[in-house]
Structure 1
Amino acid sequence: MKSICVYCGSSVGASEVYAQGARALAQQMVKDNIALVYGGGNVGLMGVIATEVMRLGGEATGVIPKALLDKELGHNGLTRLHIVKDMHERKAMMAELSDGFVAMPGGMGTLEELFEVLTWAQLGFHYKPIGLLNVDGFYDNLIAFIEHLVSQRFLTAEQSLLMMHDADPASLVQRFKTYKPSYTNKWADHKAADKLLP
């Protein structure tokens, strides 16, 4: 586990606890010599985690589209900052540079990035760990909704396990370091699940 891509908000949110979570994750990653890959901004939780990684002597790589460079205030204190043409190139590069993916509290963009890498894992396009840092129960309702998808047979129980979650950064990073993919193929699983239907 050399690098983790962290998806998080361009806002700090309504509570200081989210920034505290971002700093705690940064501290754990630096302690474990894991580099940060993220969206390249200097605002919100993005700025908090990147600044903390750099303050502690870690490595942080940002990837930001040219159109968002001014809006998200590209971080000028990173190890490296890649400026790309659009969001598609941004997400593809972030995925390529990363050995795993963590979603911290955030908005629509964070959720979109999270579900894209989950879908890629479900389809077998990658076998990297994906997790939620569930700061102060932020993702409790999303976790419950994933369970609802399973109960309604739009997702298998095994597929739901592609999205790990933990409130403790140290525990989540440890799970990433020892992760062994067990899920293989969406279509094979659906065929097997169909045989179990009444």
Structure 2
Amino acid sequence: MNSIGIFCGSAEGCSPEYMNAARATGQLLAQKDIAVVYGGGRVGLMGAVADSALQHGGRVTGVIPHALFEREIGHTGLTELVVVENMHQRKQRMAELSSGFIALPGGAGTMEEIFEQWTWAQLGMHHKPCAFLDVNGFYQPLKAMIERMAAEGFIRQSYIDMLLFSDSLAEIIDYFNDYTPPATKWAQPAGSQHG
């Protein structure tokens, strides 16, 4: 695991626990020599992860669309800042640069980003692990919703098992290092023929 894509809020959230977790994430990844790949902003939890990683000698690559950079929320002190044309290119580039993905607390953008990577993993577009850093129980309602999807027959349990919900970043990193992806969705069974 040499790089992890981080998805998280551009706001700080209401509890100081969120910013503390963001700073701790940047610090631990730097200490483990795991590069941070993130959305390139300097505000909210995003900025806290990046700043903390940099302060502890880590490598941080930001990927940000032109429009957001021009609004002066781009972080200019990173190891590398990649400026792309749009949000789709941002997500694609982050996927290419990352060995796995972690969602810290955030809003709609955070959900959309981690769910896209999880979906791509199910489809075999990549074989990289996804996890939720469950700060202060933030992701428990989402975990329950995902379990409901399986109970109602909309998703296989093996795809839920791809995800880890944990309040421990160290546990997530261990999970990533030992990760084995399940069979790809819609994969042709062994020995079957196209017809």
TM-score strictly above 0.5 = yes
Q: Counterpart of 1:79?
A: 79
Q: Deviations over 1:27-78 (max 9, x none)?
A: 2211211000000000000000000000001000000000011436111110
Q: Which amino acid aligns with 1:12?
A: E
TM-score (norm 2): 0.93
Alpha-carbon distance in 1 for matches of 2:72, 2:115:
22
Q: Counterpart of 2:151?
A: 151
1:153/1:90 CA distance change after superposition, 3 Å? same
Q: Deviations over 1:117-147 (max 9, x none)?
A: 1110111111101000000100000000010
2:182 paired with 1:187: no
**How many residues are matched?**
189
2:71 paired with 1:54: no
Q: Which amino acid aligns with 1:184?
A: A
Alpha-carbon distance in 2 for matches of 1:5, 1:87:
15
2:119 paired with 1:119: yes
Q: Counterpart of 2:102?
A: 102
Secondary structure class of the residue paired with 1:69: helix
The answer to whether the 8 Å contact 1:8/1:104 transfers is yes
> How far 1:165 moved relative to its partner?
1.2
Indicate the RMSD between aligned Cα atoms, in angstroms: 1.4
Secondary structure class of the residue paired with 2:71: coil
Alpha-carbon distance in 1 for matches of 2:23, 2:143:
23
**Counterparts of 1:169-184 in structure 2 under 5 Å?**
169-181=169-181, 183-184=182-183
Of 122-131 and 21-30, deviating more is 21-30
1:137/1:72 CA distance change after superposition, 3 Å? farther
Alpha-carbon distance in 1 for matches of 2:180, 2:158:
13
Q: Which amino acid aligns with 1:187?
A: W
Of 110-119 and 67-76, deviating more is 67-76
The answer to whether the 8 Å contact 2:30/2:54 transfers is no
TM-score (norm 1): 0.92
> How far 1:187 moved relative to its partner?
2.3
Of 63-72 and 130-139, deviating more is 63-72
Alpha-carbon distance in 2 for matches of 1:54, 1:103:
19
Q: Counterpart of 2:128?
A: 128
Alpha-carbon distance in 1 for matches of 2:110, 2:178:
25
Secondary structure class of the residue paired with 1:57: coil
Structure 2 unaligned regions, length at least 5:
190-195
Alpha-carbon distance in 2 for matches of 1:20, 1:72:
24
Runs of 4+ in structure 1 deviating by more than 3 angstroms, as ranges, are none
Q: Counterpart of 1:194?
A: none
The answer to whether the 8 Å contact 2:7/2:113 transfers is yes
